[in-house]
Structure 1
Amino acid sequence: MRRPAAPQEDHARAMTGGQGGSPRGSRRGWMILALLVLAGAGGTYAWQRERAATPPAREVKAPAPVPVALARVERGPFPVVLGSLGTAQAYNTVQVRSRVDGEILRVAFKEGQVVHKGDLLVQVDPRPFQATLDQAKAKKAQDEANLRNAKADLERYTKLGAYASRQQTETQAALVAQLTAQVASDQAAIDNAETQLGYTTIRAPLDGVTGFRQVDLGNIVNASTQTGIVTITQVEPISVVYTSPEEELQPIAKAFAAGPVPVEAWTSDGQTKLSEGTLSVINNQVDTATGTIRLKATFANADHALWPGLSVSTRMRVGVVQDAVTIPDDAVQHGPKGLYAFVVDDAHRAHQQAIAVGPSHAGRTLVRTGLSPGQIVIGQGQSRVQDGSLVAENRPAEPGQAWLEEQARTATAEAP
C-alpha cells in the first residue's frame, strides 16, 4: 500500500519541478523566485540612487587672509603741533563817518579799493565852513585893531603921569586886557572854523580795504547820525583768533616765553596752507564755560590770502619731541576700552594692542605708550580684522612701503 507524500516533499517537488509535481506548482515557484530577484534589484537601485543624491562631505578650508595695508612704528623727531579752528579778523577796523553836516560833492574811492592813510575818500561841501572861517578871521582883525588903539591910549595916559587921573589909567589898562582876551577868543574861533573846514575833506585814517559805500554822491550827511560812509578794514597785517583747551595752556605759555611761536593758517578743511604767522597774544583768562583759552596770531598777509571773517584751521608748533614714537593716524582705532592698534606678528597674525597717544601732525600720531619702534601695525583695512586674524599685505600705506623695501633689502643681503 503506497504512503502519502509529506507536505515538505510536495513543496520541494513544486520548486524543483521534479517528478510527481504538477505543471501549475512549478510555475508558481518560478514566479516567487522572480519576485524575490526583482525586489532585491529594486532595493539595490534605490540605495545607489540615494547615495548619488547625497553630496559628499566638503573639505574644510582655512579662512583667507584679510588684505590690509601695513605701516611701521617709527622713532624720530616729532614736532608738537596743536590744531584748532579760528576766524580771521581785521587788524584794525574803522567805520568812516562825517563829522560835519553838508552835501557830498565828491566820492573819491571805489568799493573794494586798497587805500592808504591820508587818501581822499569824500569831499563835503566846504563853503559854509569857509564862510565861518572868514568871519572869525575878520572878527579877530577888528578886535586886534581895537586892541592896538587901547594900548596906544594906555601908553599916553601913562606918559601924562600926574596930568592923568589914576582911574583913567586903570580903566584903560582893563580895556587893553579885555581886548587881548577877545583877540585870543577870536583865534580860538578861527582854529575851530579851520578844523570844521578840514572835516569837510574826509581822508582814510589808515591803510586798508574799503567795503560797500553807504552813501551816494549828492546826499546830505549829518554828524549826529550813525550811518557811516564806508568801512575800512586793515588786512596787512591781519589777525586770527582761535582757542585751545586749558590743558595746553602751560606748554603754550612756555613756548611763548621762549620765543616766537610759529602758527600756520590753513583752509577749514585742512587741505591748503594759506599763510604763516606767529602767536601774538594769549588772553588773560580762561573761559570757564568752555574750558578753553583764546589766542591771537598775527600774519603779514601780503597776498591777502586771509580775509576778515574767514574760517580757518590753525596749526601752532609749541615744541619738538626728539625721540618720539609715531604711527599713521589711520592706525589708531577706537574701541570700548579705549584706543588701540593692530600689531602684526611674524606669523602674519593681527593682535589688538592698547595704546595712549598724543598730538598728531602731517598724518602721523605720537604714541606715548603701547608700541615700540620697528613693530608693524595695520595702517588701513582694519574693518574686517579681528584679534588673531590672518592678514596679508595689499596696498601698503606710505610708511609700510618703506618697511617692505627694507625687508626686501634684508632678504637680498642674506641670500647666498
Structure 2
Amino acid sequence: MAGHLKLSSILLVAAIALAGCSDDGKKQAGAPGGAGGAKPPSPVSVLAIKKSSAPLTTVLSGRAEAFQSADIRPRVGGIIKDIAFKEGNFVKAGDLLYKIDEDTYRAAVDEAKATLEKSEASVPAAQANLQRYERLANTGASQKEFEDAQTTLLQAKAAVSESRAALQTAQINLDLTEVKAPFDGVTSATNYSIGNVVTASQTESLMTLRKINPIYITLNESSVNLLRLRTAIADGNRKRGSDADTTDIRLTMEDGTEYTHVGKIDMSEMAVSTTTGTVSIRTLFENPDNLILPGMYVRATITVGEEEGYLIPQRAASRNANGDLTAKFVNADSKVETRTFRSSKLSGNSWLVNDGVKDGDQLILDGFQWITDNATVKPVPSEVDSKGFVVTPTPAKTAPDAPKS
C-alpha cells in the first residue's frame, strides 16, 4: 500500500511539470520575434529623391608649388659677416639676408674715386693747351701740334669716363656685399654660417626664398580626359555666359578638410609627358593663412558645368562587375530592389543619374550591403548633409492644444 502511494505521488509531480512546460512553450511560441513568430522588418534609413539642377564636377590630384622661388647666391666673394634673418620666417622685399665683409670692396671704391679725381684734373690742362694752339695756328704753330692737342684733350675726357665707370662698378660690388631678399617670402634653413667663405655665383645656394601667397596647385590629368574636361568646361561656361577663368576649383586637404578659398585655372601645359601620358594643369589659390605649403598633396574638385537629374550620394552607391553604378531602393511594397544605372556623372559627393528613377523614390542610405533584394524593411526618412553623413530629421514639436474657454 505504501509503495502504491509513493508511485502515485511521483506520477502526479511529473504530470504537473509537463503541464508547466507546455504552458511555457505556448507563451514562447506566441511571443513576438520568438522562434515560431515572424521577424519584424528591419529599419533602414531612406532618402526621398527628387529631380534638381546640380553641378558637374571632376576630381584631380595634385601638389602645391611656391608662387615664386629663388635660390639665393652671392654675387661677390668674401667672408659672411652677419646673417640677418631668422630661418623659416617671412621677410619683405629688400630686407637684408646676409652681410659679406666689405673692407676690400670699400677700399676699391676709394681707389676708384681717387683715379676719377686724377682723370678729371687732367682735362682742364689739356683743354687750355688746345686753346693755346688755336691762337698760335696763324703764328707759326704747326698743324700736327694742334691735332696732338686735340687728341690729348679727347684722351683726358675718355679717361674721366673710364674712371667714372670703374667707380660705379666698385660701388656696385660694395652694395652687393649686402645680400637682400628679391621679393616677399618665407626663408628656408641657411646652408652657410657666419665666418664661412663664399664666392661669386657659386653652385650651392646660401638659402631658398619662397613666396607662398598666392600659391600654385599643379594638377595632373591624362591627355584623353583633358580633352573631355576642356569640352565640358567650355559647354558649362557657355551656358552660364562666362569664360574659363571663372571655373570654380575647390581643394580638399590631406586631412580631409575643405579649403575655404576658391581657385582658378592659371595655365595648362602645351605638351604631353612622353613617360606618363599626362598633362599638367596649373591652378592658382589665395593662401593668406599659409595653410598650404609647397610639396603638400591635395585633391582638387573642378566644377565643369550644371545639369538636371537625380543625386545619389556616393555612400549609398556601389559598382557591379561591369563597372555600372548600382543602388538599392524601397518599393511601394516596402521591399528592397537593386537598380542599375548605365550612365552616371560625378557631382561633388554624389552621382547624377537620369534613367531608372523618378521623384519620390526611396533610396536606401545605410546598411544596404547586408540587405538582400525582396527583403521587407521599415523605411526611416533621413537626409544627407554636405559631407555625406546620414542625418535623421528631428520630428517637429506640435503646439499644445489651446485651453477650452
Q: TM-score range by the shorter chain?
A: 0.7 to 0.9
CA contact (8 A) 1:277 1:298 kept: yes
- Taking the aligned partners of 1:94 and 1:79, their CA distance within structure 2 comes to 40
1:206-355 map, 5 Å: 206-244=183-221, 245-246=225-226, 247-253=228-234, 255=237, 257-273=243-259, 275-287=261-273, 290-321=276-307, 323-337=308-322, 338-355=324-341
User: In the alignment, is the contact (CA less than 8 A) between 2:73 and 2:201 conserved in 1?
Assistant: no
Structure 1 residue 192 corresponds to structure 2 residue 177: no
Tell whether 2:333 aligns with 1:357: no
Comparing 271-280 with 351-360, which one deviates more in the overlay? 271-280
Query: Residue 244 of structure 2 contacts residue 265 of structure 2 at CA under 8 Å; is this kept in 1?
Result: no
TM-score, normalisation: structure 1: 0.76
The offset of 1:148, in angstroms, is 2.0
- Kindly state the Cα deviation for residue 378 of structure 1 after the two structures are TM-superposed: 1.6
Distance in structure 1 (CA, Å) of the matches to 2:195 and 2:108: 22
How far 1:116 sits from its partner (Å)? 0.4
User: After superposition, where does 1:371-386 map in structure 2 within 5 Å?
Assistant: 371-386=357-372
Cα 1:85–1:345 shift into 2, 3 Å: same
8 Å CA contact retained: 1:75, 1:324? yes
For residue 155 of structure 2, give the secondary structure of its aligned residue in structure 1: helix
**Structure 2 residue corresponding to 1:123, chosen from 83, 99, 104:** 99
Going from structure 1 to structure 2, the CA distance change for 1:67 and 1:287 (only over 3 Å counts) comes to farther
CA contact (8 A) 2:382 2:392 kept: no
> Aligned residue for 2:60?
84
1:199 and 1:311, CA in 2 relative to 1: closer, same or farther beyond 3 A? same
Counterpart position of 2:25:
none
Aligned letter for 1:314? A
Task: After TM superposition, give the deviation of residue 396 of structure 1 in Å.
Answer: 4.2
Is 2:217–2:282's contact at 8 Å kept on the other side of the alignment?
Answer: yes
2:368 matches 1:393: no
Cα shift at 1:224: 4.3
Confirm or deny that 1:145 pairs with 2:121: yes
CA, structure 1 residues 95+401, in 2 after alignment: closer, same or farther (shift >3 Å)? closer
Structure 1: runs of 5+ lacking an equivalent = 1-57, 410-416
More helix by share: 1
Distance 1:403 1:218 in 2: 70
User: Shift of the alpha carbon at 1:215?
Assistant: 1.1
Does the 8 Å CA contact 1:274/1:306 hold for their aligned counterparts? no
Q: What's the % identity of the aligned pairs?
A: 28
Displacement after TM superposition at 1:89 (Å): 0.9
Where structure 2 has 5 or more consecutive residues not aligned to the other structure, the ranges are: 1-28, 30-34, 399-405
Does structure 2 conserve the Cα–Cα contact (< 8 Å) formed by 1:104 and 1:122? yes
Whether the aligned pair in 2 keeps the contact of 1:87 and 1:309 (CA below 8 Å) is: yes
CA distance in 2, matches of 1:100, 1:146: 33
Alignment check: 8 A CA contact 1:66 1:385 kept: no
Match of 1:183, as an amino acid? V
Distance (whole Å) between structure 2 residues aligned to residue 388 and residue 287 of structure 1: 51
Larger Cα-atom Rg? 1
Q: Deviations over 1:324-361 (max 9, x none)?
A: 31122122221124222222211112222111210131
Q: Which residue identity does 1:119 align to in structure 2?
A: D
Deviations 1:267-321 (A, max 9, x none): 1243342533222222223446555432222122111111111111212223232
Looking at structure 2, the residues matched to 320 and 233 of structure 1 have their Cα atoms a distance apart, in angstroms, of 38
Give 1:359's aligned amino acid.
L
TM-score by length of 2: 0.78
Give the 3 Å change call, closer, same or farther, for CA 224–398 of structure 1 in structure 2: closer
CA contact (8 A) 2:309 2:353 kept: yes
1:210 Cα deviation (Å)? 0.8
Give the Cα–Cα distance (whole angstroms) in 2 for the partners of residues 210 and 393 of structure 1: 59
Provide closer, same or farther for how the CA distance between residues 142 and 398 of structure 1 changes in structure 2, counting only shifts above 3 A. closer
Residues 372/288 of structure 1: CA separation in 2 closer, same or farther (3 Å cut): farther
Match of 2:20 in 1: none
* CA distance in 1: counterparts of 2:377 and 2:67, whole angstroms: 55
Aligned amino acid, residue 185 of structure 2: G
CA distance in 1, matches of 2:259, 2:187: 26
SS of 1:388's partner is: coil
Decide which of 56, 63, 71 is 1:95's aligned counterpart: 71
In 1, the alpha carbon distance for the partners of 2:272 and 2:230 equals 9
Q: Residues 97-125 of structure 1: CA distance to partner in whole angstroms, max 9, x if unpaired?
A: 11111111121111111100011111111
Q: State the alpha-carbon separation in 2 of the partners of residues 272 and 101 from structure 1.
A: 48
Separation of aligned partners in 2, 1:90 and 1:179: 53
